[in-house]
Amino acid sequence: MQKMGFLGLGIMGLPMARNLMRTGCELRVWNRTPGKCEPLATAGAVVCDDPAEVCAASDITFAMLADPKAARAVFTGAVAGLGRGHDYVDMSTVDPGTSRELAAAAAKQEARFLEAPVSGSQKPAMDGTLVIMAAGDRSLYEDAAGALDAMGKKAVFLGEVGNAARMKLVVNMIMGGMMTAFGEGLALAGRGGLDREVLLEVLAAGALANPMFAVKGPAVLRGEFVPAFPLKHMQKDLRLALQTGDELAQPLPTAAAANAAFIAARQAGLGDLDFSAVCRIFTGS
Ligand code: NAP
């Protein structure tokens, strides 16, 4: 029986770990706030006292953490448990530099490392239909295939560490820009006396139709922002995408404007709501 570990049981990590358990593996888990381990403990997972204990007892440990700071902090606590046959897959959304640092530290322990950030929110995480972008050790990617298959509907291997982090940031930069454009559109429609429900219908019927507007649109109109993807994490992704653009001398003026709107939303106290709450910056409701 494969022995697997999972660190970070937030909105995404908990359902991903649950799907991992469905492969029939023995699962060990750890989360900074221990109470979040309870649903998995009830389902048969072993709760560990620290990340190193998880890694030392697992063939492969997966991590799903908030941001680069959290990914680094947890990895630092995990690294003593890594070694030959005790490998690490970081699925958090971080910048390429952070990923490379973790990969180098894992290599010092003779452990294999894979970065594997995901596209798709809470519902795809629950349904096991995430899109997984992986890069790093190819043999670990192959050995983790069953686990990745349980968590996602598609996985792509992108070569050297940093490429998957970069791909993920590109995807979320586009998503952040789409959401701010959507918010501005809703605001302008409302300001001009148009029925915003009809705007949603028109968007859904044409070339701009997409699942994000279809799912988030009605909730935005109702003023409901239950966090599937917390706004603070979206702003982190825009910040990291802009940082990457800066490093590569790639101008990203639209992403910079979107980032400013998300910062304003954080300043307005909306950081823990769903990222669609950025629309409130424009609609005021
Ligand atoms: P979340 O619900 O906020 O969970 C964050 C996790 O990180 C929690 O387990 C939290 O522990 C842990 N954490 C935060 N700071 C920490 C620290 N300093 N030390 C140790 N642990 C720390 O976020 P999420 O939505 O699951 O997102 C997780 C990652 O997936 C992020 O990188 C996000 O950008 C990415 N992502 C999210 C979505 C989405 O739709 N939600 C989609 C794709 C990718 P506590 O429980 O103790 O706070």
CB contact at 8 A, 228 and 274: yes
Q: What is the structure's pLDDT at 148? A: 98
Which CATH number covers residue 265?
1.10.1040.10
Residues 173 and 278 occupy one common structural domain: yes
pTM of the predicted model over 0.85:
yes
Question: Which ligand 1 atom sits closest to the C-alpha of 9?
Answer: 9
Residues 34 and 94 occupy one common structural domain: yes
Report CA(197)–ligand 1 centroid distance (Å).
33
CB contact at 8 A, 7 and 64: yes
Domains in the chain: how many in total?
Answer: 2
Per DSSP, the residues of 13-36 read: HHHHHHHHHTTT-EEEEE-SSGGG
Residues 103 and 7 occupy one common structural domain: yes
Cβ of residue 9 lying under 6 Å from some atom of ligand 1 = yes
Residues 78 and 205 occupy one common structural domain: no
Cβ of residue 36 lying under 6 Å from some atom of ligand 1 = yes
Q: What is the structure's pLDDT at 170? A: 98
Q: Of 128, 145, 160, which one is at a domain's C-terminal end? A: 160
Residues 39 and 171 occupy one common structural domain: no
Pick the catalytic residue from 36, 154, 168, 232.
168
Report CA(105)–ligand 1 centroid distance (Å).
22
pLDDT in tens, 105-121: 999 999 999 999 999 99
Cβ of residue 216 lying under 6 Å from some atom of ligand 1 = no
Crossing angle of the two packed helices 196-205 and 163-191, in degrees rounded to 10? 130
- pLDDT band, residue 42 (cuts 50/70/90): very high
pLDDT in tens, 270-280: 999 999 999 99
What residues are paired with 62 via a beta bridge?
6, 89
Report CA(87)–ligand 1 centroid distance (Å).
21
Q: Of 100, 127, 160, which one is at a domain's C-terminal end? A: 160
- pLDDT band, residue 285 (cuts 50/70/90): confident
pLDDT in tens, 177-235: 999 999 999 999 999 999 999 999 999 999 999 999 999 999 999 999 999 999 999 99
Q: How far apart are CA 223 and CA 218, in angstroms?
A: 9
**Domain with 82 in it:** 3-160
Is the CA virtual torsion 65, 56, 124, 160 positive or negative? Answer: positive
The percentage of residues in the chain with a pLDDT greater than 90, rounded to a whole number, is 99
Active site residue 168: yes
Residues 52 and 69 occupy one common structural domain: yes
Cβ-count burial 222-233 (b if 16+ within 10 Å, e if not): eeebebbbbbbb
pLDDT in tens, 119-174: 999 999 999 999 999 999 999 999 999 999 999 999 999 999 999 999 999 999 99
Q: For residue 111, give the nearest of 157, 50, 51, 58 by alpha carbon.
A: 58
Nearest CA to ligand 1 atom 11: 32
Which CATH number covers residue 77?
3.40.50.720
Amino acid at 12: M
CB contact at 8 A, 110 and 83: yes
Residues 150 and 186 occupy one common structural domain: no
Q: How far apart are CA 100 and CA 149, in angstroms?
A: 24
Report CA(203)–ligand 1 centroid distance (Å).
32
Nearest CA to ligand 1 atom 39: 229
Residues 72 and 98 occupy one common structural domain: yes
37 three-class SS: helix
Residues 17 and 152 occupy one common structural domain: yes
Q: How far apart are CA 95 and CA 241, in angstroms?
A: 8
